[in-house]
Amino acid sequence: MALRATVYKVTLQLADLDHSHYRDYTLTLAQHPSETDERVMVRLLAFALCAAEAGEGEELEFGRGISSEDEPALWLKDLTGNIRLWVEVGLPDAKLLRRACGRAAAVLVLAYGGRGADVWWRGVEGDVARLANLRVVNVPVPSSQALAGLLQRNTRLQCTLQEGHVLFTDGERTAEVDIAELKAPAAKGNG
């Protein structure tokens, strides 16, 4: 018998002070049997970081999960179906990142895993340096583990983003996240 996904219902009250974006979201997150709680919550962090990107009539969508190579962890398509934002969570290989950068206007990677993420970045940094639409950030281990501690089957979370600092709370417990930028996208429009 195949293992089934675990479904989490999350009500997220988001206050993104950097982008003046304030909204409540009702989200369903499906956890693949081989996916850790930490990865599920880093996907939720990615959603919070990118929610302000959605324009009128657009919605961020979670991909089908780690079992699908043709979809990211999270993406944003415009009204014509073009991919505006492709978000990967974890430690994707350079080939996948090149393909994603060719398909999407912008690509974001949220790497996590401490020393493993550091080793991964040293391995792919040279291969992805020329990808102008790629941004890579690292989520420190204490932050990703604190996020994992907030995961429950049905939960209400508040998230505040300000100046690169992210705070999640369920009213009793708190997870603070300070992400470190490893690679910024190239500046747009120099001529």
State the average pLDDT for the chain: 92
What is the pTM assigned to this prediction?
Answer: 0.93
pLDDT of amino acid 5:
83
Average pLDDT over residues 6-15: 96
35 pLDDT higher than 50: yes
Average pLDDT over residues 71-81: 93
CATH number for the domain running over 6-183: 3.10.640.10
63 pLDDT higher than 70: yes
The domain limits of the chain are 6-183
Which residue has better confidence, 185 or 191?
A: 185
Average pLDDT over residues 9-27: 97
53 pLDDT higher than 80: yes
Q: Which amino acid is at 162?
A: Q
Residue 70's pLDDT band, with cuts at 50, 70 and 90, is: confident
Edge-to-edge strand order for the sheet containing 83-89? 60-62, 74-77, 83-89, 104-112, 134-139, 180-183
Distance (Å, whole) CA 108 – CA 87: 5
Residue 55's pLDDT band, with cuts at 50, 70 and 90, is: confident
Average pLDDT over residues 81-86: 95
Indicate the range of 35-49, 69-83, 88-102 predicted with least confidence.
69-83
Which residues are bridge partners to 61 per DSSP?
75
Distance (Å, whole) CA 14 – CA 86: 21
191 pLDDT higher than 50: no
pLDDT of amino acid 135:
98
pLDDT of amino acid 68:
63
Edge-to-edge strand order for the sheet containing 6-16? 21-31, 6-16, 154-162, 165-169, 174-178
What is the per-residue pLDDT across 128-161, written as a single tens digit (0 to 9) for each? 999 999 999 999 999 999 999 999 999 999 999 9
What is the per-residue pLDDT across 113-133, written as a single tens digit (0 to 9) for each? 999 999 999 999 999 999 999
